[in-house]
């Protein structure tokens, strides 16, 4: 099981495995469950951050390459007019 799927599975099960302490009210249990879900979402986002950064750098390189090709193509078309 990979990193993201593992944490998603934990998030789905959190209401059932929430750390309920003796004397906690229902609101306390719900608040703890929500906090655990928030913290789990942060862990997932931190795990995804390197992938997003790599994807953005690849996208920027691709955009630059396409822009260069467009400029070269427009220059060729401009030269053919004369």
pLDDT tens digits, one per residue of 31-54: 887 888 888 888 888 888 887 777
Q: How far is residue 55's CA from residue 61's CA, in Å, rounded to a whole number?
A: 10
Place of tokens 């993201």: 4
Contact 11, 41 (CB under 8 A): yes
Residue 9 — pLDDT band, cuts 50, 70, 90?
A: confident
Express as a percent the part of the chain with pLDDT over 70: 79
pLDDT at 1 over 70: no
Q: Tokens at residue 67, please? A: 């822009």
């Amino acid at each position: 099981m990979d990193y993201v799927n593992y944490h998603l599975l934990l998030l789905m099960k959190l209401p059932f495995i929430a750390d309920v302490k003796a004397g906690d009210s229902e609101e306390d249990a719900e608040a703890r469950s929500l906090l655990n879900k928030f913290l789990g979402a942060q862990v997932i986002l931190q795990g995804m951050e390197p992938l997003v950064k790599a994807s953005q750098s690849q996208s920027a390189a691709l955009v630059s390459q396409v822009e260069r090709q467009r400029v070269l193509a427009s220059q060729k078309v401009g030269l053919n007019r004369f």
